[in-house]
Amino acid sequence: MAPLDLAFWHLESPTHPLHLGALAHFGPVPTAPDHPDHEPPPDVLELLARRAAAVPRLRMRVRDVLIPVGGAAWSADPDFDVRRHVREIALPGADFPAETTGLAAELMERPVERGLPPWEMYLFTGAPDGSFAVLVKLHHALADGMRAVAIGAGIFDEIAAGRRPARRPRPVPPRSWLPGPGRLLDLARDRLGDLGRAVEVSASVVGASVVRAGRLDGRPAAALAAESSGTRRLATATLPLDRVHRIRRATGGTANDVLLAVAAGALRRWFDGRGLPLPGTDLRALVPVSRRRPGAAPGPGNSLSGYLLDLPVTEPDPAARLAAVRHAMDRNKAAGPSKGAGAVALLADQLPPLAHRFGAPFAAGAARLLFDLLVTQVPLPRSALSLGGAPLRALFPMAPLARGQSLAVAMSPYGGRVHIGLVADGEAVPDLDALAAAFTAELDLLDPPDTP
């Protein structure tokens, strides 16, 4: 098990589950014409279970190992039963979307069962028009955002149809467990390189944390950092992607810069709507960055770092907020993902397994010292997707909450819209719907809607 995967595995606690999530909404399954040559509509639950069982990664569970000490490994579950992971829940049809979001929030509160492969899927049915929704939960040790998309995509018609059957692995010739002199030299060189990188990243993390500690005035913690209640609240928002790109073309930068500026404005509006004073310093967001090469296969486990971004909530002008975000992200990219406290994931990748096993309680509380909230973008396939012929209408990603924090924001462009999933502590942020609505209002400030 890779060090960063192991870190996520040990950082979890009963009140701080560390699974990623996604809530996907589908239209109704097309009905077949009354003709003997047409097959009947598929059983969506059976189809979902069959396709999930065909993804090799979803058959793997975590087991402890003797060497390295404190380590763990992925191994195939000999008693794997997909019915333990895929379930159907019928909901009242009167207000299906709201019922779906509320139940998904309750299900996101619960950690996945550790003795089994760490994932779950729920099929929500009961909408009057035959539409349905699917909630996916994947433990962060199993995958980061990009890998989660690759795993979850296996349930869609377009990806499942092109999946190749698994090849039988080639036999590996036996070799001695004792490495030769050349291999020992390579191992020593690698460990020295790892140590050097760990020292460099540690210096960046500590330096950025000390600077931040000197700037904190306590007010951000009052709004977004709280002792966890163990509850979760979900809210969603959608933004037209063409308007995001129109702003990008007019101002420069990237679409992600625009979305980060919209998030900053939404938070400022939310503070004002709550009657809270603005924090004395801007809120700091952790913006995850994938370390995978563009176009490369996702690969197993986690491969990420992160940038730190001061969301300019204290800036009253929307255009100035966007300019500040763009300049800050340009500086982050110029410095690279190994600088600053956002590189803590790289540091975790350099630590031995025993450090993760015994250091998790201390590391879990460090998040609030490094950043105030997580804001991430999860890319989705650009092509239209479906399940059993039912078109995918929307997919809202969900990020886990770090200990001592109350809000995480995840965004995914799909089908001409940006789907935003907000996850919050249910007691600390009871008005999450107001924050979700603020995203649309803030986009309107940067790109006023057309008037008749």
Point out which residues pair with 143 in neighbouring strands.
301
Going by the DSSP 8-state scheme, the letter that residue 73 receives in this structure is E
Going by the DSSP 8-state scheme, the letter that residue 379 receives in this structure is -
Strand (E) positions, 399-442? 407-414, 417-425
Tell me, what's the pLDDT at 366?
Answer: 65
Residues 6 or more apart from 419 whose CB is under 8 A from it? 236, 237, 238, 394, 395, 396, 397, 411, 412, 413
Amino acid letter for position 349: D
Long-range pairs for 111-114 at CB < 8 Å and ≥24 separation?
Answer: 111/12, 111/14, 111/17, 111/18, 111/19, 112/17, 112/19, 112/137, 112/139, 113/84, 114/62
10-residue mean pLDDT profile of the chain (452 residues): values are 80 85 92 53 89 93 82 91 95 86 94 93 93 94 78 84 52 45 46 41 45 48 67 96 96 95 96 83 85 55 74 95 96 74 51 56 65 89 90 94 88 96 93 96 89 48
Tell me, what's the pLDDT at 48?
Answer: 94
Q: Is 353 helix (H, G, I), strand (E, B) or coil?
A: helix
Tell me, what's the pLDDT at 308?
Answer: 87
Cα R_g (the chain), whole angstroms: 23
Tell me, what's the pLDDT at 240?
Answer: 97
Rounded Cα distance, 397 and 24, in Å: 9
CA nearest 234: which of 444, 12, 25? 25
Residues 6 or more apart from 115 whose CB is under 8 A from it? 61
Tell me, what's the pLDDT at 301?
Answer: 60
Rounded Cα distance, 43 and 48, in Å: 9
Tell me, what's the pLDDT at 160?
Answer: 76
Tell me, what's the pLDDT at 194?
Answer: 42
Rounded Cα distance, 398 and 376, in Å: 9
Torsion 42-46-49-51 (CA) sign: negative
Tell me, what's the pLDDT at 363?
Answer: 58
Rounded Cα distance, 48 and 365, in Å: 37
Tell me, what's the pLDDT at 344?
Answer: 52
Half-sphere exposure of 136 (CA within 13 A, CB side): 25
Tell me, what's the pLDDT at 106?
Answer: 95
Q: For the sheet with 407-414, list strands across it.
A: 232-240, 417-425, 407-414, 373-377, 283-290, 304-311
Q: Count how many residues are written for the chain.
A: 452
Point out which residues pair with 391 in neighbouring strands.
386
Q: Is 302 helix (H, G, I), strand (E, B) or coil?
A: coil
Amino acid letter for position 319: A
Query: Residue 74 in contact with residue 86, Cβ under 8 Å?
Result: no
Strand (E) positions, 113-264? 119-125, 132-139, 232-240
Tell me, what's the pLDDT at 93?
Answer: 74
